[in-house]
Structure 1
Amino acid sequence: MTSLAEQTPKWMAPWRHFKDRAATVVISAGGGAVLMSILLIFFYLVYEILPLFSAAKIELATEQQLQLTAATDAAYMYIEEQGEMSLILDTGGHARFSELASGATVLYQPLRQQDSVALTVVSAEAADSRLLGLGYADGTVLLASHEYRLSYPDDKRLITPRIEYPHGDDPIQVAADGSALALLALRDTDAGLVIAAQSTSGELWVVRYTKEENFLSGEIELEREELSLNLPRKEYAALYLGTDQRWLYLLDKAGAYQVIDLNREDVSGAQQLADEGRLFADGSELSTSSMLLGGISLLAASTDGELSQYFMVRNGKEAALNKIRSFDTGGAQLLQLLPEQRRKGFLALDADGQLQIFHTTGQRKLLSQSVDYRATQVAAIAPRADALLLMDQNGKVSQWDIDNEHPEISFSALWTKIWYESYPEPDYTWQSSASSNDFEPKYSFAPLAFGTLKAAFYAMLIAAPLAICGAIYTAYFMAPALRRKIKPLIELMEALPTVILGFLAGLWLAPFVETNLTGVFSVLLLMPVGILGFAFFWSRLPVNLRTLVPDGWHAAILIPVVCGVTWLCFAMNDSVELLLFGGDMRAWITQDLGISFDQRNALVVGIAMGMAVIPTIFSIAEDAIFAVPKHLSYGSLALGATPWQTLVGVVIPTASPGIFSGLMIGLGRAVGETMIVLMATGNTPIMDANIFEGMRTLAANIAVEVPEAEVDSSHFRILFLAAFVLFMFTFVVNTIAEIIRQRLRVKYGSL
């Protein structure tokens, strides 16, 4: 009798060898391609987020000697947005527009025809405003705005500067006694205009104009109101008005402050003093100060090198000026603060010619570098914060290029509590955009990471017990004929698109759960009781009746029990709700327990995402349990162990690596799920473990905001950083899971 090898044709051996080698190469190439794809994703994410952590840079671009026509000092300087033109306003009351590239004067004109009245003070409305208040020696204020018109003759950009007077050519009388103005602050809105000033006599003046539109002519009419300040005369170092025209900040050289509420009056009819105190705890004197972009935060630097941020914080009905954070200046005495016009950052110039760049929300010092201009007279930062102009007393102007694209990012801004402007206390907040240009972006990853874990937790809380128990019963106890029907049916659920599940969860399941909340919790409580009760009843039936159901088919007779208990719970929903919760369980939860309730909440997400995760866990765990060698089970049973003891002592330990792998893959699916969370929750980035509150996950946040983010902006790169955090989280979890799985395999592999 010939062997099988002798019967096989000779040409089959090389062909089989070729197929084996080809399969090895194809499988290896596929695995290598997967690893390469993961590495490419990793490096691409790193490529996108690396600029977030690059340091700020500044370098000298040009130096120009202005052709001054009058021996006057510069009082104000501005860089036009395109970075091609500058404005210098001198104490003689003249505006000079010059080209930055050549230094040539484009326009030179006086701001007021009465040259005999001296200009004593110049004040810009805000960091991002081109409206100027010009205070004169006769106590008047002229409001002027510098504007720049863009045109393109012969396809070349032409910038034409001009001076406009939004409130007319005539100055406004602020100081009633006609004394010269020393300090000036103003705020102009659609509702009204407020001007605050201090004269050389020490008197404080506040004038409010309410704007009203004439019904017939459509012209804006101003109604004047003089506000009374019941304060002793003293010399102040700075005056500031808040953006809402409510708070007037008074700072003196000794470091003391007073905050006046312009919307409230005391018993004497004067504007109420809201708060007063000292800026610096050590009693240092004030060196310089400024209002940050938005007019909410006050920046103040002391003569001892302390630099801090303050803003009004409401505590109950009253508000007070709070010190929010301090910045590391290296002990330098700062002489000038330049707030950026589009971000919550600022530049600081000290007495030693050092330039320091800070960002308030990130609480970072981004740069400290010498610019060697100790005789700096005025300075200006470009609207895009990419250029700096410094002018010394001799008219020499230096232009510096600034590279500081992403100052908002720091570890504290991403992961710790931040005290944001107008917030009552530090908080974790994600709010990447708003309608106003002076918005403070809030890029905290903490609520997103918390929401990701919260959604995964509730999904696994529902999916893991059902999937694992179902896998155990299907693989170990169920009849083979029934298993061949049930297993493919459950695995088919995995093919259902998650967008369909999210759609159903958001539009049907969420309202259903809210309406039948008592029934939902009744099902969770009564279903185990009903199944155990039926099992007890079944065990008391005569043997001849129980044997009518073949072994492994008992699960089929539970279907009517499950359906019956579910129907009973929802049929009794209204009655139980009326009996126990006064007819409204949601109102009882909200009012009596003090727990907030959203229709689209974590409970809905847990149910919907649990349905999506169950097939994954079930399939892997069932295969692992079914793959346990039968001789192990038979040997255990032959030694006298019961089927349950065999399951617990032999089958589950042997299959534990596969069961654990199924759980980890299911967890990864829950962590990375996007559409269900996006559609089944309010998508609100809050940190609340309440099962009746929603959440926002990292994946859902990326899906929502990437289409709206400006390419290469800080927001855009932070979303890539969120993707990198999600990538690293899944990588770490899978690595730990693989280590545990290998240890389980080694431990139980000898069974």
Structure 2
Amino acid sequence: MSINRIPVHFSDRHRRAIDQLVRRTVTACGVGILLLMLLLFFWLIWVVLPLFTAPAMHPTLSQQLWDTQPALALGSDGQLGWRISRHEARFIPLDGQPASAALALSSPPDAAVTSSDSRSVLLNVQGALLLMQPVIRQHQGEWRFPLGDRPLPLPQGAVSQMALSALSDHQWRVAAQTPAGISLLTFADRTSVSQILLSGQQADHLLLSPDGTLLYASAGRLLRVWQISDAGAQLRETQTLAQPPQSLHLLAGGRTLLIQDARGVQQWFAITSANGPRLQAIHTFARSRDAQGVVPEAQRRVFATFTAQGTLSLFASKQDGPILTRQLAPGIRALAFTPRGDGLIVERAGQWQQFALENPWPDVTWRNLWQKIWYENYPQADWVWQSTAAGDSYQAKFSLIPMVLGTLKAAALALLFATPLALAAAMYTAWFMSPGLRRWVKPGIEMMGALPSVVIGLIAGVWLAPHIRSALIGVLLLPLVLAATLLLCGVLSPRLPARWRRPGFEVLLLLPVLLVVTLLTLWLSTQLWPHLSSQLLHYEQRNLLVAALAMGFALVPLIFTLSEDALFSVPGALGQGSLALGATPWQTLTRVVLPGASAGIFAALMIGFGRAVGETMIVLMATGNTPVSEGGLFTGLRALSANIAIEMPEAAAGSAHYRILFLSALLLLLFTLVINTVAELIRQRLRQRYSQHEGQG
């Protein structure tokens, strides 16, 4: 008897070549994906790293001056500098070219003050006022006298202290200390359009806000703040300082007041109180005690100090101490920033020394991103994200804590909602459901995962959110009601006819009951307590609860599929042996199958959590996108991913806002990497532990 056999060619070169090609292709694709992820990681670091580079300062050019007298005022447009002394006013090119002829001053001024935009200078010429403007066009300078080239005496007497505010290109407000009191004058070209006299008021220092609506006047230890309007001046508040001020300055925007005294430079700004806005001492800048002069930048909340020994320091309003300190030669008389803050002019006797500054993002530090910062006009320190505003002088606020907390809250609550449903469905489908019904149910649940997240977010924001608001009490009571219904069904199920209690078909009876109970609970809540939720709870229509329900719905298919596969991967002999020894199906599931599948179930939960952390469209459309660090279940939030999607289109390339958004993306990538790494380590330990138990068994 012969047996026909099919010959097997194990030495087929063609097949070996194909296998080797496929193996190398798969390996190359895997390595390519890893390299691509590594390239993405390093690219994000390359974009983010400039945010945290330390400020730098480099000398560029030194120039000799014809005039050795100290400068009363100086400034620059970045290419052409100007200075005013007691004898002359001169424009000086910053590239080392010869300076143009100086404008001789017929009467030597005693003092000068500059407007916040450095485009107007007010001189005190023997008690009279002279307004000058350095106008620079096409690298050529011209001196203008908007109020005439002769000093203007005041009827109240000689001026001893003064302050200047440029309200527009042709309008100025001046505060002048005279023997009769403080005079407030508003000029439009050559005409004085209004005048206010604060009779009897004497001040050692005067300072006007950039818009001319606030006057700060210090006399001894008293600091008075006057509110100025067309109707007159009203005393807003009086502060008693610890020491008499040496000078007063305003940072860009006019909201932060710098008070220099013997202790150093202090930061003050107004916060809201029961009596309106009132100045509040915020902090004293460290290592600013021996400052001889204070010079603010024109466009950013940065200022420089210098000492008699030549120590130059840069400060930013959000930092406690100097962000840059350099020891220069002693004898510094004056400083001037370039308009963009990328250059600095240091004047000594008969000499200018120029420095290039590298300080593009003075307000951004690792501490500011994570710690509470006391921002201007806020009642206390807080985590705040507010990247843009309508005003040009707005100081952006970049705190990542509201988005990180929003991401974690939404992901954790979504996982809390999805885990019981997904695991219960996986356990029932894998262990109790009949094979015929499972062939329909499992693909149906997996098809839920094909729904686009933007569709789920749209349904949650447009349809689900208003319905939850109207039936909020019912939604909150629903978990308790459903749990009680399940327990009651478990008690009553033995009394059902035998043909209705066939294994695997309980779900066909249970689902209609649960659906009816759910609809009845929600309907009763709308009828019995229609306004209770709005009276007892602060409820925002798009909130954490809505986002968690929608995102949990999106996580159920993923966790269900992976958990059900993990349960099925447990060897069937373990379950059959447990049942043969007399254990019930429930005991076999909880004590044998679940421990064996715990590694896969844990991996499913971690993958679901990672998906929730990176979810964008659902949290974008269902949360209200409110970047707040506080708030409960019924308030809005903003996630890191949604924040990137919202603000990246409006972020200027290369700006601090742009790079911080990339930092958010890097944090999401690192967070996902950490979750997956921890999940894999725990999964391997669980697999090793239970595989040892199985081997011993």
**Alpha-carbon distance in 2 for matches of 1:335, 1:508:** 64
1:276 aligns with 2:228: no
Q: How does 1:555-570 map to 2 (within 5 A)?
A: 555-570=507-522
1:97 aligns with 2:91: yes
2:35 aligns to what?
36
CA spacing shift, 1:633–1:191, aligned 2, 3 Å? farther
User: Letter of the aligned partner of 1:184 in structure 2?
Assistant: A
Which string of whole-angstrom CA distances, capped at 9 and with x for unpartnered residues, describes residues 502-545 of structure 1?
A: 222222222222233344335444333334334433332233x4
Deviation at 1:546, TM superposition (A): 2.2
2:271 aligns to what?
313
User: Letter of the aligned partner of 1:679 in structure 2?
Assistant: M
CA spacing shift, 1:220–1:176, aligned 2, 3 Å? closer
1:159 aligns to what?
139
SS at match of 2:292: strand
Deviation at 1:406, TM superposition (A): 2.2
SS at match of 1:228: strand
Deviation at 1:173, TM superposition (A): 6.2
1:702 aligns with 2:644: yes
2:526 aligns to what?
574
Do the aligned residues in 2 keep the contact of 1:133 with 1:186 (CA within 8 Å)?
A: no
Tell me which moved more, 629-638 or 433-442.
433-442
Deviation at 1:3, TM superposition (A): 10
Deviation at 1:450, TM superposition (A): 0.7
**Alpha-carbon distance in 2 for matches of 1:337, 1:744:** 64
Do the aligned residues in 2 keep the contact of 1:196 with 1:204 (CA within 8 Å)?
A: no
1:589 aligns to what?
536
User: Letter of the aligned partner of 1:242 in structure 2?
Assistant: S
CA spacing shift, 1:9–1:738, aligned 2, 3 Å? closer
Do the aligned residues in 1 keep the contact of 2:453 with 2:617 (CA within 8 Å)?
A: yes
Which of the numbers 131, 138, 161 marks the counterpart of 1:182?
161
**Alpha-carbon distance in 2 for matches of 1:454, 1:163:** 61
1:347 aligns with 2:307: no
Do the aligned residues in 1 keep the contact of 2:265 with 2:289 (CA within 8 Å)?
A: no
1:75 aligns with 2:77: no
Do the aligned residues in 2 keep the contact of 1:511 with 1:599 (CA within 8 Å)?
A: yes
Which of the numbers 342, 345, 348 marks the counterpart of 1:389?
345
**Alpha-carbon distance in 1 for matches of 2:187, 2:344:** 37
1:601 aligns with 2:543: yes
SS at match of 1:226: strand
Do the aligned residues in 1 keep the contact of 2:386 with 2:397 (CA within 8 Å)?
A: yes
**Alpha-carbon distance in 2 for matches of 1:368, 1:748:** 61
Deviation at 1:353, TM superposition (A): 1.0
SS at match of 1:376: coil
CA spacing shift, 1:397–1:129, aligned 2, 3 Å? closer
SS at match of 2:39: helix
1:58 aligns to what?
57
Deviation at 1:180, TM superposition (A): 3.2
User: Letter of the aligned partner of 1:327 in structure 2?
Assistant: F
**Alpha-carbon distance in 2 for matches of 1:229, 1:603:** 61
Deviation at 1:666, TM superposition (A): 0.5
**Alpha-carbon distance in 1 for matches of 2:269, 2:2:** 97
Q: How does 1:540-551 map to 2 (within 5 A)?
A: 540-543=495-498, 545-547=499-501, 550-551=502-503
Deviation at 1:693, TM superposition (A): 0.7
Do the aligned residues in 1 keep the contact of 2:115 with 2:210 (CA within 8 Å)?
A: no
Do the aligned residues in 2 keep the contact of 1:389 with 1:398 (CA within 8 Å)?
A: yes
Tell me which moved more, 115-124 or 436-445.
115-124
1:214 aligns to what?
none
**Alpha-carbon distance in 2 for matches of 1:289, 1:417:** 27
Deviation at 1:35, TM superposition (A): 2.1
Which of the numbers 650, 653, 666 marks the counterpart of 2:595?
653
SS at match of 1:465: helix
Deviation at 1:18, TM superposition (A): 4.4
**Alpha-carbon distance in 2 for matches of 1:257, 1:222:** 30
Which string of whole-angstrom CA distances, capped at 9 and with x for unpartnered residues, describes residues 125-178 of structure 1?
A: 22x452333333344353x444444xxxxxxxx334445566x54889684322
Do the aligned residues in 2 keep the contact of 1:491 with 1:615 (CA within 8 Å)?
A: yes
Which of the numbers 558, 569, 574 marks the counterpart of 1:616?
558
RMSD: 3.1
Deviation at 1:647, TM superposition (A): 0.7
Deviation at 1:700, TM superposition (A): 1.1
User: Letter of the aligned partner of 2:53 in structure 1?
Assistant: S
Which of the numbers 114, 127, 131 marks the counterpart of 2:120?
131
SS at match of 2:675: helix
2:385 aligns to what?
430
Deviation at 1:744, TM superposition (A): 1.1
Q: How does 1:230-241 map to 2 (within 5 A)?
A: 231=201, 233=202, 236=204, 238-241=205-208
User: Letter of the aligned partner of 1:98 in structure 2?
Assistant: I
1:198 aligns to what?
177
Deviation at 1:221, TM superposition (A): 9.2
User: Letter of the aligned partner of 1:407 in structure 2?
Assistant: P
CA spacing shift, 1:584–1:220, aligned 2, 3 Å? farther
User: Letter of the aligned partner of 1:656 in structure 2?
Assistant: S
**Alpha-carbon distance in 1 for matches of 2:29, 2:625:** 38
SS at match of 1:74: coil
Deviation at 1:277, TM superposition (A): 2.1
User: Letter of the aligned partner of 1:467 in structure 2?
Assistant: A
**Alpha-carbon distance in 2 for matches of 1:703, 1:165:** 51
Deviation at 1:10, TM superposition (A): 2.2
Deviation at 1:602, TM superposition (A): 0.7
2:217 aligns to what?
250
CA spacing shift, 1:221–1:640, aligned 2, 3 Å? farther
User: Letter of the aligned partner of 2:63 in structure 1?
Assistant: Q
**Alpha-carbon distance in 2 for matches of 1:439, 1:345:** 14
1:224 aligns to what?
194
Deviation at 1:685, TM superposition (A): 0.6
User: Letter of the aligned partner of 1:294 in structure 2?
Assistant: G
**Alpha-carbon distance in 1 for matches of 2:152, 2:492:** 96
Deviation at 1:47, TM superposition (A): 0.9
SS at match of 2:449: helix
User: How many residues are matched?
Assistant: 692
CA spacing shift, 1:190–1:61, aligned 2, 3 Å? closer
SS at match of 1:605: helix
Q: How does 1:626-665 map to 2 (within 5 A)?
A: 626-665=568-607
Which string of whole-angstrom CA distances, capped at 9 and with x for unpartnered residues, describes residues 637-661 of structure 1?
A: 1111111111110111110011000
Deviation at 1:742, TM superposition (A): 1.4
**Alpha-carbon distance in 2 for matches of 1:311, 1:191:** 29
**Alpha-carbon distance in 1 for matches of 2:319, 2:266:** 14
Tell me which moved more, 432-441 or 469-478.
432-441
SS at match of 1:572: helix
CA spacing shift, 1:362–1:702, aligned 2, 3 Å? farther
Which of the numbers 230, 249, 255 marks the counterpart of 1:296?
255
Which of the numbers 83, 86, 98 marks the counterpart of 1:88?
83
**Alpha-carbon distance in 2 for matches of 1:164, 1:506:** 60
Task: Give ranges in structure 2 of 5+ residues lacking alignment.
Answer: none
Do the aligned residues in 2 keep the contact of 1:121 with 1:184 (CA within 8 Å)?
A: no
User: Letter of the aligned partner of 2:523 in structure 1?
Assistant: A
1:368 aligns with 2:315: no
**Alpha-carbon distance in 1 for matches of 2:173, 2:342:** 32
SS at match of 2:281: strand
Normalised TM-score (structure 1): 0.85
Do the aligned residues in 1 keep the contact of 2:434 with 2:504 (CA within 8 Å)?
A: yes
User: Letter of the aligned partner of 1:546 in structure 2?
Assistant: W
User: Letter of the aligned partner of 1:66 in structure 2?
Assistant: L
**Alpha-carbon distance in 2 for matches of 1:133, 1:31:** 71
1:480 aligns with 2:426: no
**Alpha-carbon distance in 1 for matches of 2:23, 2:442:** 31
**Alpha-carbon distance in 2 for matches of 1:99, 1:191:** 27
**Alpha-carbon distance in 2 for matches of 1:189, 1:42:** 49
**Alpha-carbon distance in 2 for matches of 1:2, 1:227:** 127
1:337 aligns with 2:294: yes
**Alpha-carbon distance in 2 for matches of 1:653, 1:660:** 11
**Alpha-carbon distance in 2 for matches of 1:617, 1:229:** 78
SS at match of 1:499: helix
